């Protein structure tokens, strides 16, 4: 088989795979997730888009529970981007120390807030291009903020839980988070992008866990390509 024929065969296979997953997601995965989680809010606590942006940045390599404990007092002390900019470096580091990697996170927060003030007048931009232009803000963070704080579906937040569940259910052939997001965006209806991400995070935490997945309780166990093999 020549190179052109091989390429054509691969294209058909990829197209067929995407079509199959679109049907599986819309007809099986989403309906089952809705049965489990009629509403799927983030575990992070926030009152506005800026607070959620800060919380998501702090959540890297940290549990949401610990972030919520830190932000409970943090948001009383730092109420605006300018407050973070004006903060003493060492003091800010100490305030966020329990979230881990506090020096790097403090730098990211300050850099992010500086650009928010300089370019966006202190307001969190409401599109993914501007949001991802902020230091320390990738597509995952931007999608979470837009979808949950502003109900704007411009992306699917692929965190470690979403990535794990998608790989186990074979809902994408991609392994890279950004590429997986783009692949999922072809199969998940846009109006469900935020819900899908949030629900998959909950499902990954509660059922399809990393070390001890509860396969016997999984609504997808009848067709899941990797039941019990992950235990």
Whichever domain contains 77, its CATH number is 1.10.340.30
Specify the pTM: 0.88
pLDDT at 4 over 60: no
Is position 111 within any domain? yes
The answer as to whether 38 is a domain residue is no
Whether the per-residue pLDDT at 56 is higher than 50: the answer is yes
Number of domains into which the chain is organized: 1
Band the pLDDT of 93: cuts 50, 70, 90. very high
- Looking at residue 61, its pLDDT comes to 93
Residue 197 covered by a domain: no
Catalytic residue among 140, 175, 191, 222: 140
pLDDT of residue 10: 45
User: Which one of 95, 159, 163, 183 is the catalytic residue?
Assistant: 159
- Domain region containing 121: 49-149
Mean pLDDT of 189-199: 98
- Whether 20 is covered by a domain: the verdict is no
pLDDT tens digit sequence for 165-183? 999 999 999 999 999 999 9
In a domain, 135, yes or no: yes
15 pLDDT band, cuts 50/70/90, is low
To the nearest whole percent, how much of the chain has pLDDT over 70? 90
Whether 159 is catalytic = yes
Residue 156 near residue 193, CB atoms below 8 Å: yes
Measured at the CA of 159, the angle between CA 198 and CA 214, to 5 degrees, comes to 70
Residue 222 covered by a domain: no
Asked if residue 13 is part of any domain, the answer here is no
* 73 is known as an active-site residue: no
């Amino acid at each position: 088989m020549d190179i052109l024929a091989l390429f054509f065969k691969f294209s058909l296979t990829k197209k067929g795979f995407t079509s199959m997953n679109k049907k599986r997601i819309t007809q099986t995965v989403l309906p089952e997730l809705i049965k489990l989680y009629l509403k799927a809010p983030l575990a992070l606590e926030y009152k506005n888009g800026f607070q959620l942006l800060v919380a998501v940045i702090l959540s890297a390599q940290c549990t949401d529970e610990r972030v919520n404990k830190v932000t409970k007092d943090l948001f009383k002390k730092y109420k605006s981007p300018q407050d973070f900019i004006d903060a003493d470096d060492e003091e800010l580091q100490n305030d966020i120390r329990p979230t881990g990697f506090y020096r790097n996170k403090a730098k990211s927060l300050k850099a992010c807030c500086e650009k928010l003030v300089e370019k966006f007048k202190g307001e969190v931009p409401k599109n993914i291009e501007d949001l991802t232009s902020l230091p320390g803000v990738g597509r995952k963070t931007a999608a979470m903020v837009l979808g949950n704080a502003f109900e704007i579906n411009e992306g699917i937040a692929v965190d470690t839980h979403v990535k794990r569940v998608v790989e186990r259910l074979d809902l994408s052939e991609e392994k890279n988070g950004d590429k997986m997001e783009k692949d999922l965006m072809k199969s998940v209806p846009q109006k469900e992008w935020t819900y899908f991400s949030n629900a998959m995070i909950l499902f990954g935490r509660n059922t399809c866990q990393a070390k001890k997945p509860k396969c016997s309780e999984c609504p997808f166990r009848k067709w899941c390509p990797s039941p019990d093999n992950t235990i």
